[in-house]
Structure 1
Amino acid sequence: MTAPRYPHGPSSRAVLIGASMFADGDLPSIPAVRNNLDALHRALTHPRHGLLAPEHCRVLPDPGDQRAVGAALDWAAREAGDMLLVYYAGHGLLDEDGRLYLALTGTDPARPGFTSVPLELVQRDLARAHANSRIMLLDCCFSGRAVAAMGGSHTVFAGQLDLTGTYTLTSTTSTAPSHAPPGARHTAFTSALLDALAQEKPLTLDGIYQHVDRELAGLGLPRP
């Protein structure tokens, strides 16, 4: 077996997107999302244990429209040479055809195609990026719908990154809700993800998945 390859920090970029507050009353707020963004940013940019310089990790808390998200993704796709990481936490919405949309602060759940970010756009930007590795982390309902498109399979398998250049890790399956326990500091998936990143020995991407899987299964929650 070959030794794991660690990303080159100076040529890597990350975009962290989180929607915690919503103008539409049909979309309940998710206060833990703000904490998710803060904690993940600290983990990725930690002076000793992190990978990225702070200026190489953009955080978008409660973006109001698609423009801010598109600008951040375009910046990361242009600048990332080694690793490109995109994270989203918030509400996942489906249209009548089963397409997944990432909700924003101003999203109208009755018109997701016009007021939220289509997952297809994020996938397209990731696919066009010249980064050696492209990683997407989705913490939202129905997020498993992204796995088939990015990884080429409905199942999780080791070596996904080697085969396709992409690695997609989602908080749940294509049909299940994601979980934000009331009063918890973080959503369930991101809490497990942060715990995986805090391990004394750095984990591979598959190791991170296995760690998150054990944590969520132990809580009786849908598998990532």
Structure 2
Amino acid sequence: MRALPDPVASRAVLVGVSRYTVLEPLPAVANNLPVLARALTGPTSWNLPAGHCTVVAEPDTSRDMLDPVKEAAEATSDTLLVYFAGHGLLDGRGELFFGLPRSIQGRSYTGVTYQALREIITDCAARRLVIILDCCMSGRALGLMGGEDLLADQAEIDGSYLLAAAPENGRALAPPGETHTAFTGELLNVLQYGIPDQPRGLDLNTVYHHLRGELAAKGRPTPQKRDRNTAGRLILAHNQAYRPAAAPARPLTETDWPDPDDCPTPLAFLEALAEMRALTGLSISAISQRADPPLAPATVSRLLNATTLPATWKTTSRYLAACGLAAVQIEAWQRAWQRLRAQEEEPTSPESPTPDAEPPRARAWWDRLAGREDRWQR
């Protein structure tokens, strides 16, 4: 089931290094950060509060880069996204480290090791982790044991997704004259313009396969990923190119409908209602006539274009029945509506995980990767 992160309980940290004293400068990286931040805090993506998306531009020291990641990890109970763009370098043992402004190839102490980032994320209590690395050699972070053409699309723990811009032994690109780096430029196109002929919500797997196809067609490095089970179903963007089908290709079943339990916010709930009408292939007018008793088209339109939950349940119930949901399904949606209404009336602290929050879920993944490092062929 596809799911949106809860913006109140989620965080993003975007790190970029564009200015280097020894290595080649990467001016496009500086352009990546503000645009990606606007996307993640806007309605086309996660709609994070501005204070939940931290931009770390040109960190001078390891602490400058990692302290914001640790702070975000400690404050996150739903989804944590960490993005790095800059030079990806190898130390004397062939292990990945991230280039800081004064970094030197082969000397990991001049940058930030991948191990240091991993140690922070190991202790994160977030339910889901998304790591995006737009740097050379970023495929090293995947723990691959073969060459760059041997993609292992498997991870060790639910809820973890690592997206690397380049293969294990490959280079990421910052093409001269282009505003953004090659990988992040394609990612921003997806966030801003969507993907034609894809669902309303673009999950990580859909975005990954699109990026891979687009970049390969342009002769550029192809991204790699590592995930497990439900991690790839996390929605990254609302598809701006989405167009509802004229009619369903087959009778809809219970599993075709959005799941109310995957609606952590009122906005997600309302977007799921709109997705239902799209799945039916019926117009607003047709849905209105199918309701019992009929609803005014303007009433349905207001419901589907609302930005806050309806104060009463009756209209939503009639709308769901008109879409074709059974009584037991409508009851599940009513419970979700009641849950979200209660959250609006009694907001919880965004900085404190709930008492029954899940324990850190990433430890097994990172620990297994750590255990394999000395076997990796760099």
TM-score, structure 1 normalization: 0.89
Distance in structure 2 (CA, Å) of the matches to 1:209 and 1:127: 24
Q: 1:188 to 1:71 in 2, by over 3 A?
A: same
Q: What number of residue pairs does the alignment pair up?
A: 212
Amino acid at match of 1:220: G
Match of 1:146 in 2: 141
Q: Where does residue 159 of structure 2 map in the other structure?
A: 165
Match of 1:216 in 2: 215
* SS of structure 1 residue aligned to 2:14: strand
Superposed displacement of residue 69, structure 1: 1.1
1:190 paired to 2:184: yes
| Pairing partner for 1:105 from 101, 113, 121 | 101
Greater Cα radius of gyration, structure 1 or 2: 2
Measure the CA separation in 1 of the matches of 2:72 and 2:169: 30
Aligned with 1:197: secondary structure? Answer: helix
**Cα offsets for 1:14-67 (capped at 9, x unmatched):** 10000000122xx11000001110110010011x32321110000011111111
Relative to 1, partners in 2 of residues 1:185 and 1:72: Cα closer, same or farther, differing over 3 Å?
same
- Give the structure 1 partner of residue 331 of structure 2: none
Between the aligned partners of 1:60 and 1:30, the Cα distance in structure 2 is 15
Aligned partner (choices 121, 125, 131) of residue 130 of structure 1: 125
| Cα drift, residue 71 of structure 1 | 0.9
SS at match of 2:101: coil
Tell me how far 1:90 sits from its aligned partner.
Answer: 0.4
Task: Name the residue aligned to 2:2.
Answer: 4
1:183 alignment partner, SS class = coil
- Aligned 8 A contact 2:102 2:110 in 1: yes
Contact 1:197 1:203 in 2 (8 A): no
Sequence identity percentage: 38
Superposition deviation, residue 78 in structure 1: 0.1
Separation in structure 1 between the aligned mates of residue 131 and residue 202 of structure 2, nearest angstrom: 17
Cα deviation, residue 80, structure 1? 0.8
Q: 1 CA distance for matches of 2:44 and 2:158?
A: 27
Counterpart of 1:129 in structure 2: which amino acid? C
Match for residue 43 of structure 1 among 39, 42, 52 = 39
CA distance in 1, matches of 2:26, 2:7: 31
Contact 1:192–1:211 (8 Å) recurs in 2: no
SS in 2 for 1:23: coil
Q: Which has the higher strand share?
A: 1
The offset of 1:126, in angstroms, is 1.5
Structure 1: gaps (5+ residues): none
Query: Aligned partners of 1:129 and 1:63: how far apart in 2?
Result: 22
Distance 1:4 1:50 in 2: 14
Q: CA deviation at 1:109?
A: 2.8
Q: Secondary structure at the match of 2:100?
A: coil
Alignment-mate amino acid for residue 177 of structure 1: R
Question: How many Å apart are 1:127 and its aligned residue?
Answer: 2.2
Write the deviation string for residues 134-175 of structure 1: whole angstroms up to 9, x where unpaired: 0100000000011128xxxx63537x59x4321000101010
Partner residue of 1:19 out of 2, 17, 35:
17
Deviation at 1:209, TM superposition (A): 0.5
Cα shift at 1:68: 1.1
Question: In 1, distance between residues paired with 2:201 and 2:72?
Answer: 24
Q: Which runs of 5+ in 2 are unaligned?
A: 145-149, 224-378
Q: Check conservation: 1:13, 1:83, Cα contact below 8 A.
A: yes
Letter in 2 for 1:211: H
**TM-align CA RMSD:** 1.7
User: 2:28 matched to 1:29?
Assistant: no
Q: In proportion to residue count, which structure has more helix?
A: 2
1:84–1:134 Cα contact (<8 Å) kept: yes
Describe the superposition over 1:167-203 as per-residue Cα deviations: whole angstroms up to 9, x where unpaired: 0001010101111110100000001111222317331
> Greater CA deviation, 201-210 or 32-41?
201-210
In the superposition, the TM-score normalised over structure 2's length comes to: 0.54
SS in 2 for 1:144: helix
The one-letter code sitting in structure 1 at the alignment partner of 2:122 is A
